[in-house]
Amino acid sequence: MKRSTFVTIASVVIMVPMLLLVFSIKENKAEQAAINSVPEIAKLEPKSAEWGRYYPRQYDSYLETRKSDEIKDVLKQDPNLVVMWAGYGFSKDYNAPRGHYYILEDNINSLRTGAPVDQKTGPMPTACWTCKSPDVPRLIEEKGELDFFTGKWARWGNEIVNPVGCADCHDNETMRLTVTRDYLKRGLDAEGSEPFADANHQDMRTLVCVQCHSEYYFKKTTWTDPTGGEQVAKVVTFPWDNGLSAEDIESYYDEREFTDWTHKLSRTPMLKAQHPGYETFKTGIHGQNNLACADCHMPYVREGGVKYSSHKIGSPLEDIQNTCLNCHGETEQEFKDIIARKLERKNELANIATGILAKAHLEAAKAWELGATEAEMKAALMDIRHGQWRWDFAVAAHGGFFHAPEETLRILGSAINKAQDARFKLRVILAKYGAVDYEAPGYATKEEAQELIGLPMEKLVKDKMEFLGTVREEWVEDAATRGIYDPKTREMEFSTSYSE
Amino acid sequence: MKNSNVMRYVATCCVVAVIGLFLYIVYESKMLSYLSGDPKVCINCHTMNTHYATWQHSSHREQASCIDCHLPRDSFANKMLAKAKDGFNHSMAMTFRTYGYNLRITDDAAERIQNNCISCHAEAVSQMQQNSQLYSQFDDAVPMGRRCWDCHRMVPHGRTRNLTTTQHNLGVKEL
């Protein structure tokens, strides 16, 4: 009896710490499961707030892009641009980009997207939404890529309601970076030096941005819809088959005889460059050293003991301490001075280029007016096409002056050369038609330039305001009743270049 | 007499319960995995997530796993003894929640690590070892009197290693 009592007591004594241990293990395992669980977010969830519930720091810093809110009217700054883009939307309204927060609003408010009265009117195709919203990959998934790229911009007005956000770059299950636009994969594969399949994590920290910060065009693609009807899609395509340089892309377009529009004054078959940020970055010293966009534009920040990458994407100059100085030894002021000087150099050449290009267009218009023939004009017009393309490529690359100063200045140099070649040829034609002394008309302001090219600005603004008060309101209402947008990402004052 | 039969029955049940409980603990705690050297064993509990993630992103991950630095390597017996000791301490800390968000190394563990630094980087530090005899010793716990990581502060876990820094599984990719 004594022995069994002893065994019992000993067993109970041993069992107490064992039970404590079991409870502790169980408790810790539950905690571990909570920590390791990937939050349940739907595939391609377009509402960033849904992701923000689990990643509040990233979400909050993303919302901070609202602080970049200044409307900088680029046409006002250089009225030559109005003349250079005569006959094309950019002559109506063109502002420097604001924070990601405003991406959708600025697209909708721009005079370039016009004033549709229903789903089938307006100047622009659906492709203009491509980079504005995580609703785009959602729609492509639902409708198919070709269907998405078919029709007018207004077709998706009530569907594309969330500004660029989490789902544009992140996989909902693993949070890893992901490319949601297949045209980038096709572009990289066509270019060949860095196929998409080879991309590692560091590459992805650039490539998610490259989905939008690249040169593209809308490729006409015919397809048959399920009812058997023939449709034409305008598919966003990267013109990288020949390479990434300004000349490579220029030859790509020339081979296909592609034109964005025919210039209203000079009748040149024009090209418009769209922010070839990636193409220029790769030629610069930071690109060559395999830095990623996120290295400088999404620096790590700490809050208490937590470290995360800032999603307030903007100029690294706002936080030199935390970006440049991670690698470099200079002071903040030295950096600011160096970079300001780089910008001055670019502006100096860019301003020379726009002055010459605008004159070339006006002189070509005069030559046409005097009766010049197409055969006579052809060579000069090709020079204008190439000159303006190169200037545009150099200045439209956001931050090109910093990412790749040498390449940017080189391209601007060749743009000036092309434009002067054009003017030389045009002067010969003008001389032939008795106008050797012709001097192009001047203009001092954006408004004067817009009048010169015959833009009915008052009507454009009036129509736009009406669109914003009617069709636009319906889009918002529809989206709100269906609960498909995150209202927090759309709280802002109406601010444009044309509103007072 | 009857009473003693009951007691014997109770005692047997208790012994069976203890054995059962022990087997359950072996299973639940993945006890046998602790006999291996796999770094993932160290993230059986979430406490080491941050240290695992920071190590995994460091250059040391190609050369040294957790135990290569954190356990003595002079003999098998010492290694197992240290494992048992750490295991006991960790179980106590986990069960009674005696640890905070920022873990600090004990002198004993620091000595082990420093010995391991020296054993891998023997050639690089041989001159330093000799020189260290000539200067004042800051720290009695470790050989050479100064912890390598007082200067090499990023090696290998970086400087942000609060336990809350890998929330939502960011950084720990194996789980």
Please indicate whether, in this complex, the C-beta atoms of A22 and B94 are within 8 angstroms of each other.
no
Q: Answer yes or no: are the C-beta atoms of A385 and A268 closer than 8 Å.
A: yes
- What's the whole-number mean pLDDT along residues A369-379? 97
pLDDT of residue B170: 58
Please indicate whether, in this complex, the C-beta atoms of A8 and B7 are within 8 angstroms of each other.
yes
Three-state DSSP class for residue A224? strand
Res B18 pLDDT > 90: yes
Range ranked top by mean pLDDT from A32-41, A417-426, B133-142: A417-426
In a mutational test of the A interface, the residue from B22, B169, B172, B173 whose CB has the highest number of chain A CBs within 10 Å is: B169
pLDDT of residue A306: 74
Please indicate whether, in this complex, the C-beta atoms of B22 and A306 are within 8 angstroms of each other.
no
- Kindly state whether residue A13 falls inside one of the protein's structural domains: no
pLDDT of residue A32: 79
Res B167 pLDDT > 90: no
- Kindly state whether residue A373 falls inside one of the protein's structural domains: no
Q: Which residue from A15, A25, A306 is facing B28, i.e. has the nearest CB? A: A25
Q: Which residues of A touch B29 (CB under 8 A)?
A: 21, 25
Q: Answer yes or no: are the C-beta atoms of B68 and B117 closer than 8 Å.
A: no
CA angle (B99 as vertex; B94, B102 as ends), nearest 5: 130
pLDDT of residue B48: 87
Angle separating helix axes A471-482 and A457-469, nearest 10 degrees: 30
Res A37 pLDDT > 80: no
- Kindly state whether residue A179 falls inside one of the protein's structural domains: yes
Res B141 pLDDT > 90: no
Confidence grade of residue B132 (pLDDT, cut at 50, 70, 90):
confident
pLDDT above 70 as % of chain A: 99
CA nearest A305 in B: which residue?
B162
Q: Which residue from A11, A15, A32 is facing B46, i.e. has the nearest CB? A: A32
Res A191 pLDDT > 90: yes
Q: Which residues of A touch B159 (CB under 8 A)?
A: none
pLDDT of residue A305: 65
Q: How far B122 CA lies from chain A's nearest CA (Å)?
A: 30
Nearest to A490 by CA among A15, A102, A185: A102
- What's the whole-number mean pLDDT along residues A269-279? 96
Confidence grade of residue B174 (pLDDT, cut at 50, 70, 90):
low
Q: Answer yes or no: are the C-beta atoms of A214 and A282 closer than 8 Å.
A: no
Cα gap A368→A449, rounded to integer Å: 20
Size of interface A-B (CB pairs under 8 A): 96
Range of the structural domain that residue A63 is part of = 43-72+89-259+456-487
Res A419 pLDDT > 80: yes
Q: Which residues of A touch B3 (CB under 8 A)?
A: 1
pLDDT of residue B168: 58
Residues ≥6 apart with Cβ < 8 Å to A169: A177, A178, A180, A208, A211
Res A13 pLDDT > 70: yes
Confidence grade of residue B154 (pLDDT, cut at 50, 70, 90):
confident
Please indicate whether, in this complex, the C-beta atoms of A305 and B162 are within 8 angstroms of each other.
yes
Q: Which residue has the tokens 């090209």?
A: A271
B160 at interface of A, judged by CB pairs closer than 8 A: yes
Q: What value does the mean pLDDT of chain A take?
A: 94
> Which of A234-243, A423-432, A488-497 has the lowest average pLDDT?
A488-497
pLDDT in tens, B54-72: 898 888 988 999 999 999 9
pLDDT of residue A220: 96
pLDDT in tens, A286-334: 999 999 999 999 998 877 667 789 999 999 999 888 888 888 878 899 9
Residues ≥6 apart with Cβ < 8 Å to A230: A222, A223, A224
CATH number at residue A184: 1.10.1130.10
Three-state DSSP class for residue A403? helix
Confidence grade of residue A1 (pLDDT, cut at 50, 70, 90):
low
Three-state DSSP class for residue A78? coil
- Kindly state whether residue A366 falls inside one of the protein's structural domains: no
Q: Which residue from A15, A39, A175 is facing B17, i.e. has the nearest CB? A: A15
How far does Cα A385 stand from its chain's mean position? 23
ipTM (interface predicted TM): 0.76
- Kindly state whether residue A158 falls inside one of the protein's structural domains: yes
| Residues in B 7-36 with any Cβ partner in A closer than 8 A | 7-8, 10-11, 14-15, 17-18, 21-22, 24-25, 28-29
Q: N- to C-terminal Cα distance for chain B?
A: 57
- Kindly state whether residue A142 falls inside one of the protein's structural domains: yes
Q: Answer yes or no: are the C-beta atoms of A244 and A65 closer than 8 Å.
A: no
pLDDT in tens, A259-272: 999 999 999 999 99
- Kindly state whether residue A274 falls inside one of the protein's structural domains: no
Q: What is the dihedral of CA A82, A86, A87, A89, to 10 degrees?
A: -20
Which of A438 and B53 is assigned the larger pLDDT?
A438
Three-state DSSP class for residue B136? coil
pLDDT of residue A351: 97
Please indicate whether, in this complex, the C-beta atoms of A37 and B169 are within 8 angstroms of each other.
yes
Q: Which residue from B21, B101, B102 is facing A15, i.e. has the nearest CB? A: B21
Number of domains in chain A: 1
